[in-house]
Every structure is written in structure tokens, then in C-alpha cells.
Structure 1
């Protein structure tokens, strides 16, 4: 009788454990079925009114259309985007707090501004991509990248490329130099406006630009566009050759996406990924994004993660080469 009692108690314990495991697996699915039942917060780690903020507000507006609940942008600027990103990564992993991200999450760890990177998040979707252009001062002696590279090989470290040190604008010339086997003299500026002013004034030779902001300067002959870092020519600048066309295997852009805190249930991540895919295909959304001169590049959770891993590996290697990476 005692032996039977022990077996019975053991069987009851096993059944209880099995039932607990089954219920645990069902709960995230049920949560996704009910999700969302209230507005979703999107942390944008930069000031209101900037390019990134404008793009994310459009994305959030259309996400609300397919979520069935509004997506509310909350600006949390500070420390180069790190303050808002930290708040986002530490949020409750229930799908109600998401974070807008781009490559600054990689560079902030490299430069020691942050102690975390994309591994502190679950990638949800890449939404837009703003390609970079190599812009030269109006009286620069080169008409294309081939001439620039030839000159740089003859005079290593003499051509001045303006960037904000440790930012995406810094890694653009680093990738070009690495691919072409040349060396630039990097000149640091605080932000985009300062770099643009220096380039227009002829104080530096080169700087990064993009189709939306650079088009008017190229057309007015105030700057030269030597090449765009895209797979194929851009519709806003169809006469500008790509870097690849000119023998430089570099595709470079600022990719803005959405991430969630670690441990957010997979059914919720999958649901959000589908919502953002619907947004990326919405005709009105496509039209609005086009007016801002950026490109719609949707990557699902797996695709966004793969892109992040590739970019992180490349940037870490380049940072090591020039001693930029903080130990």
C-alpha cells in the first residue's frame, strides 16, 4: 500500500509538471491573441523634429492602423540616443514598449558611450534605409570615385573626409577606405549641420550626404556627388553612379528599425513583424516616405537580425583597425 501511495504521489507530481509546462506554452499564444489591448509606446531616442523622428512618427501612425491600437511616439533624447535605448531595453517585455533603433546602437558600444548593443534587444523589423553619398567640395579635382581613389593612393592620408567621430558618418569613409585600399584624413565635427557647412565652405574635401538633402546642392553645382552607396542607381539621382559601378564594393545606409526588449514572447514579435510588413506595403505610407527622400527596406525579425550581425562584425573589425574600439 505504501509503495502504491508513493507511485500515486509521483504520478500526480509528473502530471502537475506536464500540465504546468503545457499552460506555460499556451500563455504567450493567448497573450498574442489579445495583443494589443492598449496603446503601444514607441521610444524614439532622439529629439522631436529631426529626420529620424519624422520617419518614425509616420511609421507609428500607420502601425496603429494595422495593430488596432494606437502607437504613441515618446521622445527620450540624450547621450547620442543611448538614454532612450537603455530605457527601451529595460522595459517590461510585453510588447507595449518598443524602441526605434539604427546603427548608432552598434557605434555607441564601440566608442564606449554605451555598455550594450543590439544583443540587448529582439529585432522586430527594419523599416527604412537612407543611403549615403560621397559628396565633394564644388572645386574638388575629381569627377568620380575612380579619380578620387587614384589620387588617394598617390597621396595617402591627405584627402580630408568630414565625419562625427564614432558615428555612422565615421564608419562610411572607413568602409570605403577599407574596400578601396586607401586612407582618408578624418576630420571630426559635432553633427550633420557642422559637417555640411564645412564641406560647402571648402574646409574639407569630402563628406557624406544623402539623396534628399544632397540633391539641391548637386543640382546647383555647390557640391559634387561622386557616387552613391546603393546596389543600383537611386531614382532621385539617376545620373549618379553607384560605388559598386566604380569598383568599390560598399553598400551603406542608415537603417531605421524597431526592436523589443529581450524575452518578449515570440508570438508577439511575429505579430509585430507582420504588422510592420503591412505598413511597408501600404500605398499611402509608401507615398509619404518617398516625399522624405528615403527608401523603404523592410526586413522581418530574422532578416533584421542578420543585417545587424553582419554590420556589427564589419564595424567592430574596422574600429579595431584604427584603434577606435574602447577596451
Structure 2
């Protein structure tokens, strides 16, 4: 019943926005904008949002406040974006989870509940261990997992989240089951990496950039990247493909508004984000954070979401996941 009321409310708001469209677009933005991050502080979503906010403020000439809405395996924040008034004053950054069938089935939140604004980032995934871990290479970890299935634990994000999918595909390509490397859910990469350093888990699957500071400080090590080719900043780290594991994986960050947000308002935001991702300070920050800028406009972002949805459905079928 609540879902029905929310839908009717959103349709009504959307119709009102269409009627007031030209006036709203002409004034937009006339007050502060909230940018919701569904994951914990310190992860790639949070870092990207906080680097973008001051740039967007200059472009839009309005305050942009970043708000972390964590919990529920990312459902709290994504839900807050989807259920906000479709007036352009509450937007957010959505992640790969919205097209992952198991996550969608559990949270009832899907890509169709959003109006894409701009693809911002592609996040290739890394296999990360503590500096004092017994494995010096990815081949040693693989051999240990095959000899001792279930002995070690991994983390990176929520169960059925993007980095959990990265782990599942990795195990699938090794001929191992989910239980060979059990997953410990976390409210984002930053929390998972803290658990890794504390010794609560043995392996982390996170974006390359999210672990970079820990690697540089000597607290963690990369074993491999889930990329097609070596990453320019860390050319010494092999890809999984190089060691015979045919698996690549990247999550994404996409600016989005609630469905039914006025198209002319989305256009304003689309142009603002397109300009922001080219800002020299933002580009420099992202390069230093080893986060890969990948910009697409609103139309291309919508097509990208659909392609990712289809690709993730194929992976679910190939993995034979039951959820």
C-alpha cells in the first residue's frame, strides 16, 4: 500500500512539474541542492561527491550539500534519492547495485526509479590483502583458496552488492563456490578496508582507488586488478587475465534524480556535471585518488544503465545464483 501511495504521489508531483515546467526551469536552481551518497564516508562514491560539490556550486551558483545516507546495504540512500521530490533539489549518486538482480530483488529499488543525469566514474575492482598477508601473489591466494575452501573471509560492500558480484565472478572463474571465500557485508568500501586492516577479513574486493592510500602507506597490498590491461598508476600489478582468470569487473558512479524530475531541470544538471568533470581541480583530485572519470550525458547514461542491466542479468544466469 505504501508503494502504491508513493507512486501516486510521484505521478502527481511529476504532472505538476510538467505544468509548471518553464517557470521552474527558468528559476532553477534558486535554493540549496542536496547530493545524497548511499555509501559510507571515505569510499569512492563519497570522495567523488565531495570533490564535485564545490565545483557544482560555482557552476550552478547554488550551495550543494553532500549527505551520506547509509544503511540497508545501500537501500537507505538509494531509496532517499528515488523517493525525493522530483524538483531537482535532491539528487544523488547511484551505483551498480541498482542493476544487480539479487540486490534489486531484496531492496525493491531498481534503475527505473531514477532519472539518469550523468555517468561520472567507472571503478575497476582490485583484489586487496593486508601487507602482512601470507600471499605475495594472486596465484598463491588462488592456490590457498582451492586447498582450503571456507578458511578465509572477504568483504567490500553489502551482500549482493557490486563488489560481492566481483568476488562471485572471480570464484566462478576458478571453479569455486560462494562458500570457498565467504562474504562479510559492509556499508561500503571504506568500512570493508577498515575491517581488512583490523584482521576481521582476509581479502577485500574494492575499487583500485579506494585502497590506494592504504597501499601507499604500507598497510595493504594489491594482488591483482579486474581490468583488461594493467593500470597505469600501478603497472607492476597483474590483471586476473594475465594469470589465466578470465574475469574483469568495474562498478560505476552515476548522478541521478528521482523519476519524473522535469527534463529541463535534468538538462541543467546534465550540463553542470559535464562541465564539472572537466574542472582541473576535480580532474587532479580524481587522478590522485586513482578514480577513473568516464562521463556520459543523460541520454547515453540511460542507455548505459540498460546495457549494464542486461549484462548483470546474463552474469546471474551464468553463475546460477539463487536469491
User: Is 1:272 aligned to residue 301 of structure 2?
Assistant: no
> 1:92-150: per-residue Cα shift (whole Å, max 9, x none)?
323232122112334586364421211111111121333321124655456345x7667
> 1:24-75: per-residue Cα shift (whole Å, max 9, x none)?
99974x3575151413523414477433333212212211222233333344
Structure 1 unaligned blocks of 5 or more = 1-23
Question: Secondary structure of the equivalent of 2:33?
Answer: strand
Contact 1:32 1:271 survives alignment (8 Å):
no
User: Which residue in the other structure is 1:10 paired with?
Assistant: none
Normalising by structure 2, we get a TM-score of: 0.74
Paired residues for 1:89-238 under 5 Å: 89-107=82-100, 110=103, 112-136=105-129, 138-140=132-134, 143-144=137-138, 157=149, 160=152, 162-163=154-155, 164-179=158-173, 181-183=175-177, 185-191=180-186, 192=189, 195-196=192-193, 199=196, 206-215=203-212, 218=215, 223-238=220-235
Contact 1:43 1:74 survives alignment (8 Å):
yes
Which residue among 60, 68, 71 is the counterpart of 2:64?
Answer: 71
Distance 1:276 1:194, change over 3 A: closer
| 2: CA distance, partners of 1:275 / 1:102 | 20
Distance 1:123 1:77, change over 3 A: same
Which residue among 284, 287, 290 is the counterpart of 1:287?
Answer: 284
- Higher Cα radius of gyration: 1
Question: Secondary structure of the equivalent of 1:100?
Answer: strand
Which residue among 52, 74, 78 is the counterpart of 1:81?
Answer: 74
User: Which residue in the other structure is 1:259 paired with?
Assistant: 256
User: Which residue in the other structure is 1:50 paired with?
Assistant: 42
User: Which residue in the other structure is 2:7 paired with?
Assistant: none
Which has the larger displacement, 167-176 or 277-286?
Answer: 167-176
Distance 1:245 1:98, change over 3 A: same
After TM superposition, give the deviation of residue 168 of structure 1 in Å: 2.1
Normalising by structure 1, we get a TM-score of: 0.73
After TM superposition, give the deviation of residue 250 of structure 1 in Å: 3.6
Structure 2 unaligned blocks of 5 or more = 1-16
Paired residues for 1:296-315 under 5 Å: 296-315=293-312
Contact 1:229 1:253 survives alignment (8 Å):
yes
Pairwise CA RMSD of aligned residues?
Answer: 3.7
Contact 2:78 2:109 survives alignment (8 Å):
no
Instruction: Count residues with an aligned counterpart.
Output: 299
